[in-house]
Amino acid sequence: MAIAKVVVNASPLITLFKSNQAELLPQLFQEIVIPQGVWDEIVIPGQLDDAAQMLPKTKWINYRKLERVHRKIEAWDLGVGESQVLSYALTHLDYTAMVDDMAARKCAKTFNIPTLGTGAMIVLAKRKGLISSVTPRLKALQDSGLWLSEEVISLLKARAGE
């Protein structure tokens, strides 16, 4: 099943902007939502990193203010961004939560919330013909601060046919 709509957490956005790969998001998905809590984690006054500078200028992002975190998600005591991303996906069933945090992914699995990691998004970009190889793209994510084990790197390369 194709993923058309995503709600994205801070770490995927930060590493994608830092590695100059954020442009893949609007090429892959029809709608990209960022909850206010994620915005607040990234766009900090005086912050000079790539994501903090680029996010306010990005036209393809849809911002959503969440009045409250869903009680099922709140019980997991995740960070604000993860909690809002998963709450949004839990109440908007046509969205996939883009999260890398292991605790957030476990929570999502518990509530049958579909997830997509940043590395898997790179594989998806190759499958759609947007990039020719995942290897340099995954390395760029790692160089930008995304921790990926060698096992995960091997799995992603295999899924991409590399």
The pLDDT score that the predictor gives to residue 19 is 97
The pLDDT score that the predictor gives to residue 1 is 59
Looking at the DSSP bridge assignments, the partners of residue 8 are 98
* Residue ranges of domains in the chain, CATH in brackets: 5-159 (3.40.50.1010)
The pLDDT score that the predictor gives to residue 22 is 97
pLDDT tens, residue order, the chain (162 aa): 589 999 999 999 999 999 999 999 999 999 999 999 999 999 987 777 888 889 999 999 999 998 889 999 999 989 999 999 999 999 999 999 999 999 999 999 999 999 999 999 999 999 999 999 999 999 999 999 999 999 999 999 999 999
Whether the predicted model's global pTM rises above the 0.75 cut? yes
The pLDDT score that the predictor gives to residue 118 is 97
